[in-house]
Amino acid sequence: MTARAAYLASFLIVTSFLPTSSSHSHVPAVTDALDIVSKISTEHDATIKASMDFGHIVRAIPSGVFHPTSPSDIAALIRLSLSQPKPFAVAPRGRGHSARGQALAVGGVVVDMRSLHDHDHDHRAGHGRYRMNNAVPGAWVDVGGEQLWIDVLHATLEHDLAPRVWTDYLHITVGGTLSNGGIGGQAFRHGPQISNVHELDVVTGTGEMVSCSPGKNSDLFYAALGGLGQFGVITRARIALEPAPRRVLWVRLAYSDVRSFTSDQELLISKRPAGGCGSGFDYVEGQVQLNRTLTEGRRSSSFFSAPELDQLARLAVATGSAAIYYIEGAMYYDDDTTTASSVNQKLETLLEELSFVPGLAFVRDVSYVDFLDRVGRDEQKLRSAGVWDVPHPWLNIFVPRSRILDFDAGVFKGILKGTRPVGLILMYPMNKDRWDDRMTTATPDEDVFYAVGLLRSAVAAADLEQLERENAAVLEFCHREGIGYRQYLPSHASLDGWRRHFGEKWSRFAALKRKYDPRAILTPGQGIFFSAGHDLTDQQTGSDSRNVL
């Protein structure tokens, strides 16, 4: 298709729905509409690419893909949608790293947020791509919602600064993670990424461009952070920074007993820094290695050497454990001789407090960048092996501390016992007091809860169905046993499921949706509200379980 034909097709898609009455309050000027339509691609390759996400499970083909050059373009697109008798859905997409079609818009328009990457915006004018305040304490950086965290890392390191909290994978966008939460091994100390934001610029579902913060338009600020894209498109975020270390002692400690594993994790996250110098790890996560993945699975690891994997496999056989657990910790330091010596002593002292299997403490000394971008390197290996672009039926849940041993017994020693999945199983605790309850994210009602991630891949054709059955069995077990879990990166099949997910926050969530996206055009792939074009009323966001897409 020629460029002219693509333009014409795009124009027809949109203008075929333009109202005939000039009295419609949302009708944009014809020239503005033509400019927006010119940035919508209906090319087959573009729409097919935007019809799938990282999960490779859900497919939803949009009518077009929008390539904005500024946040005002996104606002204009939304206003154009609202001018139609039946508005079209609008879904922002960064890297499409969702697993269940959350970034898709069947029949609507997908906004390619990365199109903003090559255009300077007002909030960064005169400062390259990033505007920064370097004063410590109180340092921050303004970044576009389309920016990748890996790029933010390199830009802030030029000033010896870095954000406080990172997701394990950095090749995803700022706006995408802030719309969900953004968790990682630093969250026990600093909270999720959404707890480390000072300001936002948001384009709402009414087509308005709004700056917000805890002191200005605060309801939108707290709604958008962790709001699953339901209230607006995040186009700028002011992220808190701290002095960046240069080196990391990266540690993995093996356990065959889940009680020792969880007790030590909870001890580690209870250690708070005193006078700016903590006595524990700066990063705490944990993994579960099922027995068969050690004894029969592929024998390769980006961290463990082959002899170390043999040690872990022998531990699994000798103890008869259904799973081997290991704590993953990190101590940050600078690379001068005095600091390096002191951090090694600090590590030795800390390890004496822990109950891992003697002789099974594994330590690597790596650069700060290499540590943070470890999953990015794994991605390249998986792509080379042809096992990256496969279905990823991931299940992420938050489990209250009081039930984590029950969960372990029912899931790892029950439902998944004897399985040999390809992928990771994460399990690590966080402190609830580091989450801001004014935000729309849902967490268990306990002071400490665990993030459990079944990050498994379906590398063979028959794997997907089996993994989906296991995920369903895990959720059914939690329901049956009354485990008060919450999903992270949630996916629910009914409005009742969403109401249970948000709990007492549901009424406020629905009210904010009516205020900031009353026609329900934004991010329809989440499946929470009616499809685009339906006005949301109190009744429609209440108990009617048929309001979901």
pLDDT 10s digit of each residue in the chain, 549 long?
Answer: 444 344 444 444 444 444 433 334 455 666 778 899 999 999 999 999 999 999 999 999 999 999 999 999 999 999 999 999 999 999 999 999 999 999 999 999 999 999 998 665 544 433 346 899 998 999 999 999 999 999 999 999 999 999 999 999 999 999 999 999 999 999 999 999 999 999 999 999 999 999 999 999 999 999 999 999 999 999 999 999 999 999 999 999 999 999 999 999 999 999 876 544 556 999 999 999 998 888 886 566 889 999 999 999 999 999 998 999 999 999 999 988 888 889 999 999 999 999 999 999 999 999 999 999 999 999 998 898 888 999 999 999 999 999 999 999 999 999 999 898 889 999 999 999 999 999 999 999 999 999 999 999 999 888 999 999 999 999 999 999 999 999 999 999 999 999 999 999 999 999 999 999 999 999 999 999 866 656 665 434 444 433 332
* Residue 140, domain CATH: 3.30.465.10
Do residue 219 and residue 320 come from a single domain? no
Residue numbers of the domain that contains 140: 131-243
Place of tokens 């729905």: 17
Do residue 364 and residue 477 come from a single domain? yes
| DSSP letter, residue 531 | P
Query: Is residue 538 assigned to a domain?
Result: no
Whole-angstrom Cα distance, residue 427 to residue 173?
24
Helix (H) or strand (E) run with residue 249 in it:
strand 247-255
Cβ burial of 230 (10 Å; 0-12, 13-18, 19+) is buried
Query: Is residue 502 assigned to a domain?
Result: no
Do residue 350 and residue 221 come from a single domain? no
Whole-angstrom Cα distance, residue 180 to residue 488?
8
**302 CB neighbour count, 10 Å cutoff:** 9
Do residue 252 and residue 296 come from a single domain? yes
Which one, of 431, 430, 411, 429, lies nearest residue 421 by Cα?
A: 411
CA angle in degrees (0–180, nearest 5) for 368-253-346: 60
**Domain boundary at 243, 268, 289, which?**
243
**Domain boundary at 435, 461, 487, which?**
487
**Residues whose CB falls within 8 Å of the CB of residue 360, separated by 6 or more in sequence, listed in order:** 253, 254, 311, 312, 315
Q: Dihedrals φ, ψ of 437, to 5°?
A: -70, -10
**Domain boundary at 243, 277, 296, which?**
243
Give me the amino acid identity at 338: T
Query: Which residues are tagged catalytic?
Result: 97, 168, 285
Query: Is residue 436 assigned to a domain?
Result: yes
Which one, of 46, 68, 51, lies nearest residue 203 by Cα?
A: 68
Do residue 183 and residue 267 come from a single domain? no
Query: Is residue 373 assigned to a domain?
Result: yes
Query: Is residue 500 assigned to a domain?
Result: no
Do residue 356 and residue 411 come from a single domain? yes
Do residue 204 and residue 272 come from a single domain? no
Do residue 200 and residue 157 come from a single domain? yes
Query: Is residue 308 assigned to a domain?
Result: yes
Do residue 160 and residue 261 come from a single domain? no
Q: What are the helix (H) ranges across 288-430?
A: 291-295, 306-319, 337-351, 368-372, 374-384, 404-407
Q: Omega into 137 within 30° of 0, i.e. cis? A: yes
Do residue 298 and residue 364 come from a single domain? yes
Whole-angstrom Cα distance, residue 82 to residue 431?
42
What region does 105 belong to: left with phi over 0, alpha with psi -120 to 50, or beta? beta
Total domains present in the chain: 2
Query: Is residue 518 assigned to a domain?
Result: no
Query: Is residue 124 assigned to a domain?
Result: no
Do residue 462 and residue 421 come from a single domain? yes
* Residue 288, domain CATH: 3.40.462.10
What region does 306 belong to: left with phi over 0, alpha with psi -120 to 50, or beta? alpha
* β-strand pairing of 486-488 with 232-243: unpaired
Do residue 263 and residue 229 come from a single domain? no
What region does 467 belong to: left with phi over 0, alpha with psi -120 to 50, or beta? alpha
